[in-house]
Structure 1
Amino acid sequence: MRPRWLCTVTASALALSLSVAAALPAAAAATPSAASSEAAAQRAQLQQLARRLVEAGAPGVIVRVDDGRGRPVEIAAQAPWTRRDHLLKVGDEFRMGSNTKTMVATLVLQLVAEGKLSLTDPVEKWLPGKVPGGRAITLRMLLNHTSGLFDYTDDAAIRPSMLGKDRRRWTSAQLLAVGVKHDPLFAPGTKWSYSNTGYAALGAVLERVTGEGLAELVRDRIARPLGLRHTYYATGSTWRGSHAHGYERDAAHMPPSVPAEFRHLAGERRNGHVDVSDNDPGWGGAAGAVVSTTQDWSRFHTALLSGKLLPAAQMAQLRTTVPVDSRQPDGPGYGLGIQTGATPCGTFWGHDGGMPGYLTTNLADRTGSRTATVLIATEFWAEFEADPKIAKAAQALQSAVTCTMFGKPVPAAAQAG
């Protein structure tokens, strides 16, 4: 559940489109027939790139792009061998992984707006004695990954759950306890380092302040008000609707760069892969346990970034970013549960999420009027930089999706793959 994929959106879009950006003519007003023709061409291009990604080794791909000007482009492509398990559809549910953080940040900011929390509150105020040095760590630091807390997903105790071999139900408090067993990485507020432990702490704070579980908070404060019928905080391995199957290669076919301790996953064997769809995502907790669909997440992003879910003051807090890389102060930034970066086609806001079998990137423009999602039904290739062939095809697709979302021509380099 690290932000390794989203950070490549900027880099890949830059590399693929700078070569043609200077040569692109200014867009002229399109007639209805020209607009229809353009949309058909965009869809054909994205379909081709999605198929190339499947041919490169991805078991399945879902793409949804809404440029705010008409009917969204929706694509589902899958490897033939996966059809015995499920016929992939654009409306299928899937694990959102760390995209969950955007929803959790929204919940925190709603309580800030209601006067029940403050971003300057030390974590010690709400979780006394649970976080060493908690008097110096604020809720804002937890939200923007400047707390210095060790990431609990790097602890071996979590690994059996990640691999689907341990079915225990982790609580926010338990996940937090795993993370804080380790020494902090740096003094609070002095650096940036992605930490799922910070969001486990936020989950525990939300539960204490409201007296409700995270599943109820997501349901009552976000999903039901927005009519998100396929969005929920998973409380087990069971799916509520038709869902995308996620896969990783089995031990015999795993790329050599995947560490030995991650090579054996629980699940049914399929064509050199393991179907991990029924493994419990509960180890993700407030950092990664939400399930959703492309359409639901688009609606959520639109509601959030247009100001429907938060007052203006909290939207300003959400968008206040810190550099992800101190060496690039003008590079990608992380706000409160959301990331931003500039590409030649436009500046995106969004997040990514990864857990075994599912890698998702969700993007939007600043106002939420344009949205895009890419799901790839396998994740270890990105987590461990294990498959350059998939990586190249995925970056080409992501670059094209980003430009299509902003209503810009798909770069010729992306079309060539």
Structure 2
Amino acid sequence: MLRKTAHPRPARQAYLTLALAVALTGTLTACEASAAAQGTARTQAGRPGAATAHSDRLAALAQQDVDAGAPGVVVRVDKGAGQVIEIARQAPWTRADHVLSASDRFRMGSNTKTMVATVVLQLVAENRLRLTDPVEKWLPGVIPNGNAITLRMLLNHTSGLFNYTYDPAVLKAFTGQDTRQWTPTELIAAGVRHDPLFAPGTDYSYSNTNYIALGLVAEKATGDSLGELIQQRIAGPLHLKNTYLVPDTGTGTETGSEAESEARSGSGSGSLKRPAFAHGYEPDAAHIGPLLPPGTPAGTAFAGPARSAGYVDTTSVNASTQWAAGGIVSTAQDWARFSGALISGKLLPPAQLKEMRTTVAEESEFPNRRYGLGLEQVVTPCGTVWGHSGQVPGYSSENYTDATGRRTVSVLTSTIFGLVPPRTAAANQALVDAAVCTMLDKPIPATPAPSPTTS
């Protein structure tokens, strides 16, 4: 949901975007390995030699990220040949909350958009929707000028709709300062009460409003809830046992009070034993001010229990503002299975996968990124990859595949704004670049020694 930007447009300046000018082509942070792993990287079915060297190098970079100030990080790399590298590291002060494991569940943020787009394109393949359909056809009277905005424009962020997360009232809920529970219709209303940024189809601007509308369109076209559609069409067929959409109403947590308790305790209940839920953190009110973009409303800060090192625990922050724009919970392993299946053509027919991979340029601050239909094309130091990034309070994630879907990489971080200080940002970028290069079986780029100064 959060969008990385070094120089936000005026319309974005009230939004909690990542001011990571020197980092974030992909992003990670640091976490201690699980007790079973004894703080070391784990290579599954790996061979000695190069695979071990890559694993050791990634583990060292993950620890460097932690040492630079990141609360926690999970790295998973699958080179498509039976070699899976899994790493978890965390800062010592986070251990009292939870001992991080590479198998933990994680809030995936805007990676959700790729799943929502997949559902929409499946419906297109079934002739239940058309990319040329105006949004007015499915949501009459909900979006002004809806006859001029097509489903394609919603999918690739060329609608011009204002991003509802920038609305001051929504922002308070997003940061947990307000416990009001928002419905999808209310989120759209918060977005469209602001003027559009441009005429439909004439420019690009990333907007969560687009995907809330798409979620409602998918529900209207099928009669099923978006969560049910994701389970029926993606999670169920792919056996993603730890992937689900946080509900759009009610508590705003995963599935109500039981899951709220589960997120706090890190354990499942009943006969279903899920992986633990990773804790997320953001700088507290005394420390976050200098990290926010210019124009952010005064007093903006994240709510949550205070932690040492100047953070708050945002694990149970109000999640009702996320839904189709950023409400998926998953694991690195589940997401690798999904993204690999998607790019390799197992979830969409060739015509719809081609549409998904037809891209437009993103803002000028992202010259290495292009946006398709819920999917990003990213040029990295070691080659071009496909996937998405995501940020919700306490969680940043980058998930990519190669062009075939056989190789996958995930880097999951337990903060957003904890990555803004330059030293942390540089360590984060080095880790992401190394993880992607490892996935593509390319040499890991040399990185300068970290600055001895504090971040």
User: Is the structural similarity TM-score above 0.5?
Assistant: yes
Equivalent residue in structure 2 for 1:114, among 105, 126, 129 = 126
Q: In 2, distance between residues paired with 1:398 and 1:289?
A: 23
Equivalent residue in structure 2 for 1:409, among 440, 443, 450 = 443
Equivalent residue in structure 1 for 2:399, among 362, 387, 398 = 362
State whether structure 2 residue 190 is matched by structure 1 residue 178: yes
Equivalent residue in structure 2 for 1:142, among 154, 164, 171 = 154
Q: Which residue does 2:205 correspond to in 1?
A: 193
State whether structure 2 residue 291 is matched by structure 1 residue 254: no
Q: Which residue does 1:341 correspond to in 2?
A: 378
Matches of residues 98-109 of structure 1 in structure 2 within 5 Å?
A: 98-109=110-121
Aligned CA distance change for structure 1 residues 68 and 381 (closer, same or farther; 3 Å): same
Q: Which amino acid aligns with 2:235?
A: A
Q: Which residue does 1:300 correspond to in 2?
A: 338
Q: In 2, distance between residues paired with 1:262 and 1:374?
A: 31
Aligned CA distance change for structure 1 residues 326 and 392 (closer, same or farther; 3 Å): closer
On the 8 A contact 1:54/1:60 being kept in 2, the answer is: yes
Question: 1:13: how far off?
Answer: 7.7
Q: Which amino acid aligns with 2:60?
A: Q
Q: Secondary structure at the match of 2:73?
A: strand
Question: 1:186: how far off?
Answer: 0.4
Question: 1:301: how far off?
Answer: 0.4
On the 8 A contact 2:279/2:394 being kept in 1, the answer is: yes
- How many residue pairs get aligned? The number is 394
State whether structure 2 residue 117 is matched by structure 1 residue 79: no
Q: In 2, distance between residues paired with 1:299 and 1:278?
A: 27
On the 8 A contact 2:2/2:392 being kept in 1, the answer is: no
Q: In 2, distance between residues paired with 1:148 and 1:48?
A: 43
Q: In 2, distance between residues paired with 1:11 and 1:260?
A: 24
Q: Which residue does 2:35 correspond to in 1?
A: none
Q: In 2, distance between residues paired with 1:221 and 1:55?
A: 41
Question: 1:160: how far off?
Answer: 2.1
Matches of residues 166-315 of structure 1 in structure 2 within 5 Å?
A: 166-235=178-247, 236-237=252-253, 238=259, 239=263, 241=274, 242-258=276-292, 259=296, 261=298, 263-271=300-308, 272-315=310-353
Q: Which amino acid aligns with 1:273?
A: Y
On the 8 A contact 2:174/2:319 being kept in 1, the answer is: yes
Question: 1:284: how far off?
Answer: 1.0
Q: Could you list the runs of 5+ residues in structure 2 that have no partner in the other structure?
A: 6-17, 27-45, 254-258, 269-273
Matches of residues 35-50 of structure 1 in structure 2 within 5 Å?
A: 36-50=48-62
Moved more, 238-247 or 100-109: 238-247
Q: Could you list the runs of 5+ residues in structure 1 that have no partner in the other structure?
A: 15-33
Identity of aligned residues (%): 54
On the 8 A contact 1:100/1:286 being kept in 2, the answer is: yes
Question: 1:105: how far off?
Answer: 0.2
Q: Which amino acid aligns with 1:4?
A: K
Moved more, 232-241 or 213-222: 232-241
Question: 1:211: how far off?
Answer: 1.4
Q: In 2, distance between residues paired with 1:327 and 1:375?
A: 23
Q: Which residue does 2:79 correspond to in 1?
A: 67
Q: Secondary structure at the match of 2:86?
A: strand
Aligned CA distance change for structure 1 residues 253 and 125 (closer, same or farther; 3 Å): same
Aligned CA distance change for structure 1 residues 163 and 262 (closer, same or farther; 3 Å): farther
Q: Provide the TM-score with structure 2 as the length reference.
A: 0.82
Cα RMSD of the aligned pairs, angstroms, is 2.4
Question: 1:78: how far off?
Answer: 0.2
Q: Which residue does 2:4 correspond to in 1?
A: 4
Q: Which amino acid aligns with 1:52?
A: Q
Aligned CA distance change for structure 1 residues 183 and 406 (closer, same or farther; 3 Å): same
Q: Provide the TM-score with structure 1 as the length reference.
A: 0.89
Higher helix share: 1
Q: In 1, distance between residues paired with 2:177 and 2:230?
A: 27
State whether structure 2 residue 426 is matched by structure 1 residue 392: yes
Question: 1:292: how far off?
Answer: 0.4
**CA deviation map 1:175-217 (0-9, x unaligned):** 1111111111001111011011111111111111111211111
Q: Which amino acid aligns with 1:245?
A: H
Aligned CA distance change for structure 1 residues 160 and 8 (closer, same or farther; 3 Å): closer
Q: In 1, distance between residues paired with 2:371 and 2:285?
A: 35
On the 8 A contact 2:77/2:438 being kept in 1, the answer is: yes
Q: Which residue does 2:109 correspond to in 1?
A: 97
Question: 1:69: how far off?
Answer: 2.0
Q: In 1, distance between residues paired with 2:358 and 2:19?
A: 18
**CA deviation map 1:244-299 (0-9, x unaligned):** 10001111233523246464322111102101101132211210000000000000
